[in-house]
Amino acid sequence: MRPTLIWDLPTRLFHWALASSFALAWLTSDSDPWLAVHVFVGYLMLGLVGFRLVWGLVGSHFSRFASFWFGPKAALEYLKQVAKGRAPRHVGHNPTGSLAIYILLGLSVLVGLTGVLTLGGDEQQGLAAGWFSFAQARILKELHELGAIAMLVVVIGHITGVVVESLLHKENLARSMVTGFKQADAGTPKTNARPLVAVLMLLAMLGFGGWWFTYAIDRQIDTQTWNTRLESGTVEEPHVKFVGKQLPDNPQWRDECGSCHNVFYPALLPARSWQKMMTEQDKHFGTDLGFDKATSDAILKFMVDNAAEKHAVEAAYKIEQSIAATDTPLRVTETPYWVKKHREIAASDWANPLVKSKTNCAACHSDADNGTFEDGAMHIPAAPKAVTSAAVAAPVPAASKP
């Protein structure tokens, strides 16, 4: 018996990258501001599993599926032997460990794919944006979460197995997944370290991360608004900028409805509310809109086409669900969902000169004019320490025209 290379570098890199991704995905699973990180590690996991499937065919001897192609029966049998304390030592993966690997690979794919689909429906972002409505995404989200829990259970089982095996055969299995070396006899099949493949993997991961956290995310946020406010010192940088696709726009609607106040995107109220608002346009909150018929019709069409019922974004779905079928609210700020979401905002925040009115949506939602109301684009402005003329003049831009 002498120290022998068993795990090639790509396999070790894969193992620890997958483990870290999984841990990071759990840590960021319940936090909207970290969604961009969560989604990143999700895509990373899918990429890693894709690599592993190829490496299982062309990698070194002990990394190939052929070297640990045991069935569930063998896995159970091995488990029984472990329980009796007389399981034989395997230089490569043992039958129970192999089963855990196959289950983890399968679950990674399931969790990764349902994650992409959930993101597409729940947040209307990513590769599957627009494939499902917010309502349909709920089922996908359930599957995503169940898959993740199942994965956690198998991971715990896997770690337990590593500890038990390490004790049973008096060797540190976790360390050998770091160094690649185990004690083996002379006849053991040879493993090539394959450093070049590992370096390429590392570069691909770094490249993907660099692209994701600079270009892929920044491209989508309304950076201009944020930068104005960052410079005026009234907001902190959002944790992670993550704003999805733009909703349909209409210059005429933006001009006409944005002349007195910032526009309220059609997704914020159901179609019947917009119809009523336009029918009663001569008494629009104390003013007369005075649009001619052609203008009225054109604006109304845009609003009805993009009303809350279309569920284009999470906010639209939630607002629509919260309104009783018999109600036709004319104020977004009176819909139950809006009230619920803003109930806990302190009076001092509403009184902030940068906010002034609760209809000043853009004071806290940098994407208000686009109607997306992304979590990542939301930030309550800090009360200006000393109200300087710059701080008062800079923020709260009027309806931005794209």
CA distance 52 to 11: 8
Exposure string of 129-148, with b = 16+ CB inside 10 Å and e = fewer, is eeebbbebbeebbebbeebb
Report residue 71 CA to chain centroid gap.
Answer: 35
Nearest approach in angstroms of CB 332 to ligand HEC is 3
- 211 binds ligand HEC, rule: CB under 6 A: no
Cα angle at 301 between 125 and 251, to 5 degrees? 70
Site string for ligand HEC, 326-355 (x = CB under 6 A): -----xxx----x--xx--x---x-----x
| Using rule CB under 6 A, residue 373 touches ligand HEC | yes
Question: Which among 66, 92, 97 is positioned nearest to 164, based on CA atoms?
Answer: 97
CA distance 117 to 246: 18
- The one among 363, 377, 391, 396 contacting ligand HEC by CB under 6 A: 363
Task: Yes or no: say if 44 and 132 are a contact pair by the CB < 8 Å rule.
Answer: no
Please identify, using beta-carbon distances, which residue of 61 and 284 lies nearer to ligand HEC. Answer: 284
Query: To the nearest whole angstrom, how small is the minimum distance from the Cβ of residue 22 to ligand HEC?
Result: 26
Nearer to ligand HEC, 200 or 351 (CB): 351
Q: Does 141 bind ligand HEC (CB under 6 A)?
A: no
Under rule CB under 6 A, residue 361 binds ligand HEC: yes
The answer to whether 167 contacts ligand HEC (rule: CB under 6 A) is no
> In the bound complex, what is the minimum distance in angstroms from residue 389's beta carbon to ligand HEC?
22
Residues 36-95 that bind ligand HEC (CB under 6 A): none
Between CA 110 and CA 147 the distance in angstroms is: 7
Beta carbon of residue 224, minimum distance to ligand HEC (angstroms, whole number): 19
Q: Can residue 357 be called a binding residue for ligand HEC (CB under 6 A)?
A: yes
In angstroms, what is the minimal distance from the CB of 26 to ligand HEC? 21
Contact 333, 359 (CB under 8 A): yes
How far is it, in rounded angstroms, from Cα 299 to Cα 362? 21
CA-to-CA dists, residue 140 to 34, 118, 147, 150, 209, angstroms = 20, 6, 10, 15, 26
Closest by CA position to 374, among listed 229, 233, 247, 228 = 247
Q: Are 29 and 2 in contact (CB under 8 A)?
A: no
Q: Which is nearer to ligand HEC, 51 or 264 (CB)?
A: 264
How far apart CA 120 and CA 44 sit, in angstroms, is 17
Output the smallest distance, CB 375 to ligand HEC, in A.
Answer: 5
The footprint of ligand HEC on this chain (CB under 6 A) covers a number of residues equal to 37
Using CB under 6 A, which residues numbered 282 to 301 contact ligand HEC? 284-285, 287, 289, 299
| Least Å from the CB of residue 8 to ligand HEC | 45
Q: Which of 249, 360, 399, 400 binds ligand HEC (CB under 6 A)?
A: 360
The span from the CA of 78 to the CA of 76, in Å, is: 5
Torsion of CA 249, 334, 273, 256, to 10 degrees: -40
What's the rounded Cα separation, in Å, for the pair 371 and 246?
8
CB of 41 to ligand HEC, least distance (A): 22
Any contact of residue 260 with ligand HEC (CB under 6 A)?
yes
Residue 256 makes contact with ligand HEC by CB under 6 A = yes
Which pair of tokens denotes residue 55?
A: 């490496």
240 forms part of the interface with ligand HEC (CB under 6 A): no
Please pick, from the candidates 164, 378, 382, 392, the single residue that binds ligand HEC as defined by CB under 6 A. Answer: 378
Complex with ligand HEC: residue 151 or 355, whichever CB lies closer:
355
Task: Provide the token pair at 374.
Answer: 């992304």
Instruction: Give whichever of 100 and 361 is closer to ligand HEC, judged by the CB atom.
Output: 361
Does residue 261 belong to the site contacting ligand HEC (CB under 6 A)?
A: yes
**CA 59 remoteness from chain centre:** 32
Minimal distance, residue 367 CB to ligand HEC, in Å: 10
Binding site for ligand HEC (CB under 6 A): 256-257, 259-261, 264, 268, 277, 284-285, 287, 289, 299, 314-315, 318, 331-333, 338, 341-342, 345, 349, 355, 357-361, 363-365, 373, 375, 378, 380
